[in-house]
Amino acid sequence: MKRVTGIGGIFFKAKDAPALQSWYKRHLGIDVQEWGGAAFDWSDSEGKPVAGTTIWSISPQESEQFAPSPASFMINYRVDNIHALVAALRAEGCNVLGDVDESDYGKFAWVIDPEGNKVELWEPPAGQ
């Protein structure tokens, strides 16, 4: 079974999220949206779009998005079969949080790594 197939997103907290978002927009040209981040659509070597997007987002330091982890970041990993992976992680004794959540954006699950970092697993909808 394939496990991680790529990175779906990078999420991190900032002491002053609006100021940091503005800095990235101004100095690095990241098209930061009202929701606090940007979506990078994938393309091939010729610049033609291919299925896939990577999300980049800055949240306020007070955000509970990464709880119960005390980390200031979270990485979202793309996976092919989230239900099989979650079952394998549980069988291996990993700290999987809750059940798989399903939404219009795909299927999500979370696991805590040995250093207490919350890791997000994401199975995108078909065709993404």
pLDDT of residue 49: 85
pLDDT of residue 51: 81
Query: CATH code for 4-123?
Result: 3.10.180.10
**CA–CA separation, 62 vs 106, rounded Å?**
26
Sheet holding 95-103, edge to edge: 37-43, 49-60, 4-14, 73-79, 118-123, 106-112, 95-103
What does the angle CA 70 – CA 73 – CA 77 come to, to the nearest 5 degrees?
A: 120
pLDDT of residue 4: 96
pLDDT of residue 13: 96
Q: Is 0.85 surpassed by the pTM of this model?
A: yes
Intervals of the chain under pLDDT 70? 127-128
**CA–CA separation, 11 vs 88, rounded Å?**
25
pLDDT of residue 1: 84
pLDDT of residue 104: 92
Domain ranges in the chain are 4-123
